[in-house]
Amino acid sequence: MSLKPIDITNKQFNSKFKGYDRNEVDDFLDQLALDYEKILQQNRELEKDIKQAQEKLSYFDDLKDSLNQSIIVAQDTADKLKENATKESDLAIQQAQAQSEDILAHASKMSEELITAATAKANKILNDSSERARQLAVETDDLKKKTRVFHRNLSVLLESQLQIVQSDEWDELLKPFGAYVDNTHQAFKEVLDAVEAANAGGTTSNAVAVDVQPNFNTEAVAVETDENEVTEETRELPKNLNNDGRSKRNRLS
């Protein structure tokens, strides 16, 4: 059984001969009881503090365990998030690479198709242009040949007609119509000069219209002599000239 301060205070000692002074012993016991009471009080306070400290330590231990568990959970969550992020990043990279490869392949295909189409179109245009140029060259050469032939034939025809109208026979036959055909020679000469000038200047126009047939209107001709005096040779002159011109043109063509 533990000793209490009251036990010290109430303690009774038996008296013997030559013993301690009773008052001193009582005073000492009283002081001892007080000191012991203080020690007990301090001990109780210390026990209380220890209990509180133990409670706090237990709280902190629980908190530590909770924090450790939270850290573990957070670490697991972070690891999972990191793993998921890595997977998503890898997947996004793969998808982006696949998409970029598809886009590149599609662009390359479209580029090749455009190049092929442009090349084909350019070749077609070039071939068409070459063919057209060849046709134009052929047509130009043909036109030049026809123009030269036309000029040559026209020159020959005009020269032959001019020779006819400049002959003495022509002058003799046209004496009865001298008032109407004085300028015939000059007209033919001007036409011939124009054709020769065109040939000399390289003109290729075929738009020159030349009337190489004499224009006789026998109904409008008024002669001073009687109609019965016109010879049969004079009446046949236009017909002979026409026949002669046609025969010359046939030979030229």
Calculate helix-pair angle for 184-200, 22-165, nearest 10 degrees.
Answer: 140
Half-sphere exposure of 83 (CA within 13 A, CB side): 6
As a whole-number percent, the residues of the chain with pLDDT over 70 amount to 66
Most confident of 1-5, 30-34, 236-240: 30-34
- SS3 call for 92: helix
Residues 6+ apart with CB under 8 A from 152: none
The encoded tokens of residue 147 equal 């123009």
Considering only 93-107, 142-156, 190-204, which range has the smallest mean pLDDT? 190-204
Model confidence at 41: pLDDT above 70: yes
How far apart CA 217 and CA 213 sit, in angstroms, is: 12
Q: Are 217 and 161 in contact (CB under 8 A)?
A: no
How far apart CA 75 and CA 70 sit, in angstroms, is: 8
Comparing 215 with 100, the larger pLDDT belongs to: 100
How far apart CA 136 and CA 134 sit, in angstroms, is: 5
In the numeric block, the tokens 């001193």 are attached to: 24
Model confidence at 209: pLDDT above 80: no
Give pLDDT, residue 229. Answer: 40
DSSP code, position 62: H
How far apart CA 146 and CA 51 sit, in angstroms, is: 136
Average pLDDT, the chain: 75
* Amino acid present at 222: A
Give pLDDT, residue 160. Answer: 85
End-to-end Cα separation, the chain, in angstroms = 168
Residues 6+ apart with CB under 8 A from 25: 13
Residues 6+ apart with CB under 8 A from 31: none
Q: What is the pTM of this model?
A: 0.33
